[in-house]
Chains A and B, each alone.
Chain A
Amino acid sequence: MPHKPPTKEELERRKIVGINEETITDVSSTDFPGHYPGEDHSWDIESFRRGFRIEFHQNDPFEASFSLIGVDASIANAFRRIMIADIPTLAIETVFINNNTSVIQDEVLSHRLGLIPFKGGHEGLHKFLKWWRKPTDEALVNNSYYDYNTVSLRLEVQCEHNDKAAAGETDPTKLYKHAHVYARDIEFCPVGRQDKYFSGADIIAPVNPDILIAKLRPGQEISLSMHMHKGVGSDHAKFSPVATASYRLMPVIKIERPILGRDAEKFARCFPRGVIGLEKVTKKEAAQKGSGYEGHDGELKAVVVDPMRDTVSRECLRHDEFKGKVKLGRRRDHFIYLVESTGQWESDAIFLEAVAHLKKRAADLEKQVINMVR
Chain B
Amino acid sequence: MPRATARKEEPAEAGSDIVMDEAPTSHQPEGRDDMSVDQDDENDEAGDVEEDDAEEEEEEDVQRVRLLPGSTPTAASFEFLNEGHTLGNALRYIIMKNRDVEFCAYAIPHPSEAKMNVRIQTFEGTTAIQALEKGLQDLQELCDVVTDKFIDAREKFAASASS
Contacts and interface: CB of A to CB of B under 8 A. Distances in A.
Interface string B74-102: 00001010010111011111101111010
B86 A369 contact: no
Contacts of A54: 146, 149-150, 152-153
A355 B94 contact: no
Given A33-B98, A75-B142, A362-B87, A369 B147 contact: no
Contacts of A75: 90, 93-94, 142
Contacts of B97: 31-33, 41-43
B63 A55 contact: no
B65 interface: yes
A227 B150 CA distance: 36
A356 B150 CA distance: 12
Which of B98, B137, B139, B158 has the most chain A CB within a 10 Å cutoff? B139
Nearest to B152: A54
Given A133-B55, A348-B154, A52 B146 contact: yes
A362 B99 contact: no
A155 interface: no
A101 interface: no
Contacts of B55: 133
A1 interface: no
A40 B60 CA distance: 37
Given A32-B97, A56-B157, A48 B63 contact: no
A320 to B, nearest CB: 41
A369 B127 CA distance: 13
Nearest to B155: A56
Interface in A58-91: 59, 66, 68, 71-72, 74-75, 77-79, 81-82, 85-86
Interface residues of A, number: 53
B63 A368 contact: yes
Contacts, number: 137
A355 B142 CA distance: 9
Interface string A16-28: 0000000000000
Given A33-B98, A373-B129, A366 B136 contact: yes
A371 interface: yes
Contacts of A366: 133, 136-137, 140
A56 B151 CA distance: 10
Contacts of A82: 86
B143 A358 contact: yes
B147 A355 contact: yes
A362 B93 contact: no
7 contacts: A48-B142, A52-B145, A53-B153, A59-B157, A85-B86, A370-B133, A372-B129
The 10 A-B pairs at the shortest CB distance, nearest first, are namely: A56-B157, A359-B143, A43-B97, A54-B153, A74-B93, A42-B99, A33-B99, A78-B90, A74-B89, A366-B136
